[in-house]
Amino acid sequence: MSSFISSQNIVYPSNELSPTMILLEEWSLIYVEGFDSKTYLQSQLTIDMNLLPKTHHTLCAHCNFNGKVLSVMHLFHYRKGYGYIQRKSTSKVQIKEIRKYSIFSKIKIYELNDICLIGFTGLNVRSFLLSFFIKIPDKNCPVIHENNKTILWYAEPSERFLLVLSFSDFLNLKRQINKNIFLNNNQQWLLLDIEAGFPIIDKICSQRFTPQAINLDKLKAISFEKGCYYGQETIARIFFKKINKYFLSSFTSTGKISPEIGSFIETQINDKWCKIGVLLSVVYVKSKEIYIQAVLRKPVDVNNFFRICGFKNIFFIRN
């Protein structure tokens, strides 16, 4: 009999997590299939498709013509083509944009609505999953396909797994679970992504930043050697001329606030509060702490005080 423990929606830092299952309802899986799927994605995404092994997944982005990020995604080989996982709020616009020139290629691109995305993390989570699967991915083989199930391995901020399952397989897995495990919601996975340094791009911040502004170059999610792709001219110019003016950062504070994504971040300069960046995401941790992710403008003194425009809470950049 399943033995789930309610987390009461309390989010914990990665180093304090017991075995936890997370329903990733704010993410979606997009499937790309067809003879031209690889060459078409090569002309659209920021990474070199030729360098993606079947046993790996990679962070990358889809940009508009001006080099602004439509969506950040984790891409991997899936079924007879490719799958990528991204924030659900961006999917409608992103799919519309990536389909624009697909009429000239043998390719189909669509969201899979019959799939469950489930995260597993916490202490001894590998041993927990080995009770249900023959093999679990690791550093050398971060993607495993087993009986129409796919498991992705993430190293940061601590070992965690993302399962791609059919609804029936998910229900079957739930019925098999006979050990205590916490059940949590999207906010827990969101915090893990923030801790890992993965940029969170939701609809309101889509098409607002270049890949370098959200650290995708540092995360090896951009190829500067492959041929042309959407937004490549702008992205390459920023890289070769070293003119990126922004960077991704995260902050912590305490208190209760309800800011809107896309709000301005301010810093104190000569006793005045000046706009210095944009809020990407906010998560409340253990009902006391606040973690936020933001894009900041260079140069900025990381020892300064920061706040979200309209709120008095003081934030500090995390080391």
Contacts of 187 (CB under 8 A, 6+ apart): 9, 11, 283, 284
164's tokens? 């791609």
Domain interval for residue 37: 13-196
Asked if residue 45 and residue 179 are part of one domain, the reply reads yes
Evaluate whether residue 250 is within a structural domain: yes
Residues 189 and 91 in one domain: yes
Closest CA to 233 of 99, 65, 44: 65
Instruction: Return all residues near 100 (Cβ < 8 A) that are at least 6 apart.
Output: none
What pLDDT was estimated at residue 8? 62
Number of domains forming the structure of the chain: 2
192, 254: one domain: no
- The answer to whether 273 is a known ligand-binding residue is no
Shared-domain flag, residues 157 and 270: no
Structure tokens at 262: 């896309």
What is the reported pLDDT for 1?
44
- pLDDT in the model for residue 302: 81
In a domain, 276, yes or no: yes
Rounded CA-CA distance 53/143 in Å is 10
Inter-residue contact 251 to 315 (CB < 8 Å): yes
Residues 60 and 188 in one domain: yes
Mark whether 37 and 114 lie in a shared domain: yes
Q: Cα(194)–Cα(213) distance, rounded to whole angstroms?
A: 15
153 is in an annotated binding site: no
Instruction: Specify the CATH number for the domain of residue 187.
Output: 3.30.1360.120
> Which of 164, 196, 228 corresponds to the end of one domain?
196
Mean pLDDT by 10 residues, the chain (319 residues): 64 94 97 97 97 98 97 97 98 96 93 97 94 94 95 97 96 86 94 98 98 98 93 95 96 88 92 93 89 93 88 81
Q: Are residues 171 and 283 in the same domain?
A: no
- Residue 167's pLDDT is 95
What pLDDT does residue 7 have? Answer: 61
